[in-house]
Structure 1
Amino acid sequence: MTDADTPETVATYLRLRGLKPSSKSWKRKRRIQDDDDNAPFTPGRDPGALGAVLDKLSRESGWEITLAREDLVRQWADLAGHDTAKHSEPVSLENGMLTVKCDSTAWAKNLQFMRATILTEIGRRYPQAGVDNLRFIGPDVPSWKWGPRAVPGRGPRDTYG
């Protein structure tokens, strides 16, 4: 059996066991180091953490404010407390005013007393959300007021003479 007839795996085994000297033609080629961006072991080639990549993407895309507002609404139960969240939910956030709808006027009044605490916690956890003020409203009740320029008082129903 000559060198050409020997399978590669058997030749490697014999060479590693020292039973047969390695051939002269086999030499390890050195990789030529280029200034290529795809070259291994260069700075910046290590994989980054997924959270860091997503933070960079959201910052570059300008999504920080929108994501902070969504987190605020999604995590309302952790922010206000689970018992409070059962009776209230954020419904809108416009011009820095967060409107929270409550099950009853009693819950709206109790949350009004907790307003400073909740506003401080929102500012601490979600500074990018841009919440400057809180408004607590009760349940939907029929209103005779139509539009922003409604006149106070009974109006057209005041026909009792």
Structure 2
Amino acid sequence: MDDGLDLARQVTRAAASSGSPAARRRRRRPTPTGTPLPDDVRSAHPDRRRGAISGAHPDERDPQLLESEVARLVGRGGWDLPLRMRGVFARWPELVGDDVAGHCTPESFVDGVLVVRTDSTAWATQLTLLTPTILGRLNADLGSGTVRVLEVRGPHLPTWKKGRRSTRDGRGPRDTYG
């Protein structure tokens, strides 16, 4: 009975005795039991079917950096502008200043319109006066023309429309807020 060393010697002698290098590559390799593998099993490995064998140089099959993969995913999904706007919401005090940010917060951004809610009507008026400056800062950070309109809204006020018998154009308790 042949052991593994004798089998290796037989394979080496057979390879050395075959004529061309192409013929040596085409030879079937024997299994440890001595029977050669069929061609369809040998070519079942995906790298052999494609003709690509992994090497020392980087290629697309290597692990990629997380930053580049996330950037590719964001670009393919079309999420670039919404993510940048969420960054503006997070950095609002840095962009408009601590004093202004203490009295107003951004609520939404849709189709170039940024809605900002203030905590009083006086700050709503002040923010309306500061609109060109704020738009300039936002567009410098996000890209020209990203934010076209800054819609300033006053504080949330209570509604006086309660019950079945409310009047349509009623003025409430005639008090001013803010």
Identity %: 31
AA in 2 matched with 1:78: E
Q: Aligned residue for 1:90? A: 106
CA RMSD of aligned residues (A): 3.2
Q: Aligned residue for 1:110? A: 126
1:104–1:42 Cα change, 3 Å: closer
Structure 2 residue 67 is matched with structure 1 residue 67 = no
Please, what TM-score do these two structures have when normalized by structure 2?
Answer: 0.54
Return the offset for 1:50.
Answer: 3.8
1:39–1:67 Cα change, 3 Å: same
Return the offset for 1:125.
Answer: 0.9
**2 CA distance for matches of 1:84 and 1:48?**
42
Structure 2 residue 44 is matched with structure 1 residue 39 = no
AA in 1 matched with 2:114: L
Map 1:136-147 to 2 at 5 A: 136-142=152-158
Gaps of 5+ in 1: 1-33, 146-153
**2 CA distance for matches of 1:73 and 1:50?**
24
Return the offset for 1:38.
Answer: 2.9
Please, what TM-score do these two structures have when normalized by structure 1?
Answer: 0.58
Aligned residues: 117
1:37–1:59 Cα change, 3 Å: farther
Structure 2 residue 137 is matched with structure 1 residue 121 = yes
**2 CA distance for matches of 1:113 and 1:79?**
16
Return the offset for 1:51.
Answer: 3.0
Q: Aligned residue for 2:175? A: none
Return the offset for 1:124.
Answer: 1.4
1:40–1:130 Cα change, 3 Å: same
**Higher RCO by CA contacts (8 Å cutoff, separation 6 or greater):** 1
Q: Aligned residue for 1:81? A: 97
Return the offset for 1:116.
Answer: 0.7
AA in 1 matched with 2:148: D
Return the offset for 1:106.
Answer: 1.2
Structure 2 residue 151 is matched with structure 1 residue 135 = yes
